[in-house]
Amino acid sequence: MRIVYLSLGWLMVVLGVAGIFLPVLPTTPFLLVAAWLFSRSSPRLEAWLLTHPTFGKPLTAWKREGAIPLRARVSAVVLMVISYGFFWWGSHPSIVLAVIVGAVMFGSALFVATRPEPTTTKNKPEGRE
């Protein structure tokens, strides 16, 4: 199973990195799954992902607190709205399909929008909690 988890972990990393460049592909969910898969197959790779200069902070905030930074929440919701607009305009869906896709996207956006802000210590003076 270790090889399966490791292979799937790398696949999730590749999809997550692709999500940086493709606005319809989310980055963080793939990297969260990759971190979970690496935790089952390679603690070294999990640590690498959680301490990565770009990806580590949001992944750790999610893992520790279930928190998403405000900027990421706003970006995610705006991109969901834009994606729905492209879906509507590009595919001319039936009303049933439009409602189903809209409900799923609305539920996802609501979930993301209601996540807390990560607690940070960078705005607090040294030595204080």
Q: Is the pLDDT of residue 123 over 90?
A: no
First to last CA, the chain: 42
- Helix/strand/coil percentages in the chain, nearest 5: 70, 0, 30
Tokens of 26: 């989310």
Tokens of 83: 């994606």
Better-predicted residue by pLDDT, 97 or 76 = 97
Better-predicted residue by pLDDT, 8 or 21 = 8
Q: How confident is the model at residue 44 (pLDDT cuts 50, 70, 90)?
A: very high
- The answer to whether residues 25 and 15 touch, using CB atoms and an 8 Å cutoff, is yes
**Whats the size of the chain, residue-wise?**
129
pLDDT at 91: 93
DSSP per-residue letters across 60-86:
HHHHHH----HHHHHHHHHHHHHHHHH
Section 9-16 average pLDDT: 94
Better-predicted residue by pLDDT, 23 or 108 = 108
Q: How confident is the model at residue 25 (pLDDT cuts 50, 70, 90)?
A: confident
Whether the pTM exceeds 0.95: the reply is no
pLDDT, tens digit, for every residue of 98-114? 999 999 999 999 999 99
d(CA 115, CA 72): 11
Section 16-41 average pLDDT: 87
